Each structure stands twice: as structure tokens, then as C-alpha cells.
Amino acid sequence: MGLAIIGVGTLTVPLDTTVNLAFPHIVAAFGIAVPQIKWVVICYVGVHASLMLICGRLGDLFGYRRVFLLGCAWSAVAFALCAMAPGYGWLLAARGVQGVGAALVLSVGPALATASYPPASRTRVLGLYTMMFGIGAALGPPLAGVLVARWGWSAVYAFRVPLALAGFALAWLLPAGVPAGRVRFDVAGGVLMVAATGLLLLGLDQIQAGSPWVAPLLGLAALAGRAFVRVERRQAAPLIAMRHFRDRALVWALVSAIAVNIAGFAILLLAPFLLVRMAHLTPGETGLVLAASPLGMIISTPFAAGIATRFGLGGLSRLGLGVTAIGLGLMGVDARLLPLLAAGMLVQGLGQGLFQVANFDQVTAALPVADRGVAGSLALLTRTFGLMLGATLLMLLMQRLAAWLGSEVAGIEGVYRAMALVPLGLLLLTRVMAPNAR
């Protein structure tokens, strides 16, 4: 029951995949140039990524249910503001507000879920929590086709208002939890974390455009990150204790999660070009095919706990990496074969679901129980960094391969083949980098 309640509030976040299919309608409604639509993503992702660790720490200090309730209520207001935005600037501001709500909900979701069940059930609970993301991501694209066709672009925000309010109402039934007591919040660390993360994401976004701001933004991000580390080492109650990063297995879990998310983002970024330009599918049909990958996650995650019980988290992680590599490899065989492309997406989703459950559990287990909010935030933050890096690196790789191989389709196939090597490489390195992973 508790996990279902958490799922209602959490679903509002992965359902943001509905917004992607509304992009052309937003461009037309506000009369903006197509490149400007990226700010709809940046304002949202930048805010929630920058605040994720801070909100997780607030949950550790003041109670996970309290932060989750605030996140659901905040999100309901944000969705209404987005739907009613009278101009593009107003929409961008509302997306920033939405990012705050997403950070509040996501940062404490894993901790709230695991706190509601016995420790022995942690892997199973995290598997079901991960499945919720798959459900939201699978429903998003096909649902967007119906919503936008019938009610316009604002519907992709408006339909989530009652969902967020339902999450708020039901979350009162969750255990209140016990706040950490009188511990001062690390304000300096929080400010530096927001600065470092925000500058890094902005810098990554500017790489593809060849902007002269890339070096200054990344340089400032590095300075803010260095200052953050120095401040955290001196704090009695830091946002996150730097000693945790001496654990090689934890660092490897975070790095490998970023790499897997980069590889997986090749589907959302490049597959729509194949489906629309080559297969000539409608937006609704495209949404249904793109749902194959999250459908794979929905199928595989309930089995993750059983696999982990038999083979350990390390075995679950390695199986996920291997299956992910197979799926991406299938997608790179011949993009003109739509059934093979969809099958590859499904297999990739099966593998990514297994890997994410193992990764979630590995990161959660590496930090103390009192820091479960921070642990969940760290695990989710790797997804955001993976997507942002993927948006830049994958498009650059596709352009280079397309020019070399002579066609856009061949370039996309080449990207999928190259991305299949990422989980394979991680699979080979895992034994070296995290030899003690159980």
C-alpha cells in the first residue's frame, strides 16, 4: 500500500515524457524559433538536478514524508502554472517551479519507499520503485498524442494536477518518520552544489552549438565543485560526507550509472528520427514504438529481487549490462527493419531495468541509514547527468558518423553499435573496479 501511494506522487515526474511530443505545438503557440524549445528542458532539468541532493538532505533532517508532501503540493501548483502560461517566458519560469517540485518528490522517494518496509525487502522495493518510472515513461508518449490532439499542448501539464493532488492526499497515510533532530543544514554546501550542478549542465548544453561560453561555464563549474568539496570536508554536518567517495565500489556504481544512461538515451534522442523520417510513422505511432524500452523495464524489474537473491547485486548488475548491450546491438543491425528496432528497444529496457535496480541498491547500501535521502538523490542524479551528457555526445557522434558513412540512418545505426560497447566495457571493468560487489 505504501509503495503504491509513493508511486502516485512519483508518476508525475516520468510522465514528463509527454512534454516532448508537445514541443511542435508549443513552438507554434508562442511563435518561437525551434532551437529555443530546448529551454523548456533546461529550465526544468537544471533546477531539479541542482536541488536533488539538497532536498534529499532535507528529507534526512526533517522527515521524508514531510518533504514528499511538500513536493506533491508544489508540483500541483507548478503544473497549473505551466498549463496557464500566457507567454513563453512565463512557461519557462513555471518549468523552473516544476523542477523544484520534481526535486522534492524524487529526492526522498527511494528513502520513503525503503523506510516503509523491512530491510530484507529493500531490493524488491527498489525494483518496484524503478518499475514506476518505466510505467510513467511508457505511458507518456502514447498519452501525449491523445492529449495534444484533443486539448492542445497545455494538456500535458494540466492532466498531472489531479495526479499530484492525489499523491498529496494519499501521502498522509504514510509513516511520518522520525526527523534527525537539531542538526544545522549545510547552507554553504547547498549553495555551492546548486552553482556547480547548474553551471555544469549549462556548459554541457552549449557544447553542441559550439558556443564560446562552454569553457567559461565548465571552468566555473569546476571551481564551484572544488569549493564544494573543501567546504564539505570542514563541515561537522555536511550535505554529503566526502569520506563516502573513498569507497571505490560506490564511485564505480555512480560512474557506471551515468555511462549506462548515456547509452540508453540514444533511444529517446535518435529513434524518433528513424521512426518519423524512415518509417513515416505518425506521432501517436512513434509514441507507441518508443514505449517498448520502458515496457522492458516494467517487465524485468519485478524479477530483480529474485535474481539478486540468487546471484547477488553484482550478478544482477552484470546481467543487466549484458542484456542492455544485446538490445543496443540489435538496434544497430539494420534500422530499416522496424520489428528488429522495436525488439532491440524492448531488450535494452529489460537490461536497463535490471541494472538500475542493482545500481539503486548498491548506492543505497553504501551510505548510512541516516543518509538514505542523499543516497537516493545520488542514484537519481546519475540519470540526469547521463541524459545531459548523452544529448551532447550522442548527437555529435551521430553527425560525425553520418558524414563518414554517407547517410543519417547509417550514422544512427553506428551510434547504436557504439553504445552497445558501453555496457560491454562496463561489464568487463566491473570485476576490476568493484571486485567486492556482492
Q: Is the pLDDT of residue 430 over 90?
A: no
User: CB of 205 within 8 A of CB of 42?
Assistant: yes
Q: Which pLDDT does position 435 carry in this prediction?
A: 56
The string of pLDDT tens digits covering residues 341-353 is: 899 999 999 999 9
The string of pLDDT tens digits covering residues 255-297 is: 999 999 999 888 877 887 778 777 777 767 777 888 899 999 9
For range 329-344, the mean pLDDT: 87
**352 Rama sector, left if φ>0, alpha if ψ -120 to 50, beta otherwise:** alpha
Helices (H), 332-371: 338-366
Q: Which pLDDT does position 433 carry in this prediction?
A: 67
- pLDDT tier at 428, thresholds 50, 70, 90: confident
Q: Which of 35, 424, 351 is nearest to 208 (CA)?
A: 35
- pLDDT tier at 423, thresholds 50, 70, 90: very high
Q: What is the CA radius of gyration of the chain?
A: 21
For range 30-45, the mean pLDDT: 85
Q: Which pLDDT does position 198 carry in this prediction?
A: 87
Q: Is the pLDDT of residue 137 over 90?
A: no
Q: Is the pLDDT of residue 437 over 60?
A: no
Q: Which pLDDT does position 202 carry in this prediction?
A: 85
Distance separating alpha carbons of residues 114 and 148, to the nearest angstrom: 36
The string of pLDDT tens digits covering residues 372-401 is: 888 888 888 888 888 888 877 888 888 889
Q: What is the DSSP letter of 274?
A: I
pLDDT more than 70, % of the chain = 95
Question: With b meaning 16 or more CB within 10 Å and e meaning fewer, what string describes 266-290?
Answer: bbbbbbbebbeeeeebebbebbbbb
